[in-house]
Amino acid sequence: MKKLDFSIPFSGFCSTSFINCFTSVYMYLEGFDGADSGATFCNEWTGGQCNSCGNCATKPQALQERFFFLFDTMCGRSSLRCRFDGQQTETEFLINGEGNFYDGGSEDNIDFLFGFAGYNYHTVTDTALFKNEIIASIEDGKPVIVKLRDNKVPFAVVTGYDDDSLICPDFRAAQKSPEPAVTYDGIIGVYIIGDKTAPKYTLADGLKRIERVMKYSLTEGLWNGYMKKIGTYGPDSLGEDKPEGRKLRMKRLAATMWHTFNCHNFAEVFRIYLGERKSEHVYDGIGDVKTLGNPDFGEILNIISWRYGYTHDLAWSIIGLDECINWDDWKSHYYGDMLEVIIIKLKENDEAVLECIKKLTTALDENH
């Protein structure tokens, strides 16, 4: 039997997705102190729903979430926008593979995250090798990230073993934890972490990845698709639908806004380098990320912060409207115009942030 002294918490912004697991393992390997281990469920989530109270900024797991935001953003996941009809986009598949919107578990994305953080790794898919590989890693003092099947969550972290049983850390701060418990039979992939090395990918590489994701969403007209379904006029529009149909369209729009809240993760990465924040230097040990602190980038970072703060507020407004609109009122026929204006603003914010990312990328390439 062996159990690592792993007390790093997990982010409450998602379940034990690959990015969430990767972040906590990264912090453990880098020697961050998780000894307070006071990570708790957010009081509002315990009650059933986030209300944007800001409690997450002061929770014990706040530092982990800072790193989670960085990895979530640089790999492009926090730039994703989903289709109104729910079909997976090309960029979702690039980052999530066949997983859900939050997984971040495609092989392409996993390779980027390890390369960006500066760690070698190898993947094991032969079930006959799982036990020996996991034990060897634990004996070497390194946790293991495992991909799960037939579980409520897609990934988990293994921090110890006891004969044929696996030991996992406390996942309780995450929105969802492994259920059933992690066993060898429930694993379909193992990620073994190797030596620390020079980062394979730079800040510019991360920004270019973001640019690719954002450009796809805009050129494919994802927001335009929303407007066709939510507008007052036109075939297959909200205005042409019956009350029950309008209600269902609004519920789908509100559901997508929970995904659009990834703009918060995105903006927080760049806000780190605005003003006098206690966490200003938290990313300085990861590759060349501290370059974002260049005073010349101040105006660009301010635009990102403002635009995605605005997107965050607009998303809440849509969720709130969904909870209170009476679709049996004949005037609801005209609500599509109002909703279309909100969607236009969401699109404009994405366009403005994309221009900011392009400017940052150009500046980094010129100074390379």
Does residue 19 contact residue 75 with C-beta atoms inside 8 Å?
yes
Per-residue pLDDT of the chain (368 residues; tens, 9 = 90+): 999 999 998 988 888 999 999 999 999 999 986 544 444 555 555 555 555 565 555 565 788 999 999 999 999 999 999 999 999 999 999 999 987 888 899 999 999 999 999 999 999 999 999 999 999 999 999 999 999 999 999 999 999 999 999 999 998 788 899 999 999 999 999 999 999 999 999 999 999 999 999 999 999 999 999 999 999 999 999 999 999 999 999 999 999 999 999 999 999 999 999 876 656 678 988 999 999 999 999 999 999 999 999 999 999 999 999 999 999 999 998 999 999 999 999 999 999 999 999 999 999 998 77
Rounded Cα distance between 326 and 310, Å, is 26
The neighbour count for residue 107, using CB atoms within 10 Å, is 10
Rounded Cα distance between 36 and 19, Å, is 22
The neighbour count for residue 58, using CB atoms within 10 Å, is 7
| pLDDT at residue 33, as a whole number | 66
Q: Smallest Cα–Cα separation from 332: which of 210, 215, 250?
A: 250
| pLDDT at residue 36, as a whole number | 47
Does residue 78 contact residue 265 with C-beta atoms inside 8 Å?
yes
| pLDDT at residue 160, as a whole number | 98
Q: Smallest Cα–Cα separation from 138: which of 15, 38, 232, 1?
A: 1
| pLDDT at residue 135, as a whole number | 98
SS3 139: helix
Alpha carbon distances (Å) from 186 to 143, 189, 213, 239, 268: 17, 10, 32, 48, 35
Say what angle helices 222-230 and 335-366 make with each other, to 10 degrees: 170
The neighbour count for residue 57, using CB atoms within 10 Å, is 11
- Which residues does 158 contact at the CB level (< 8 Å), separation at least 6? 134, 138, 143, 144, 145, 146, 166, 167, 168, 182
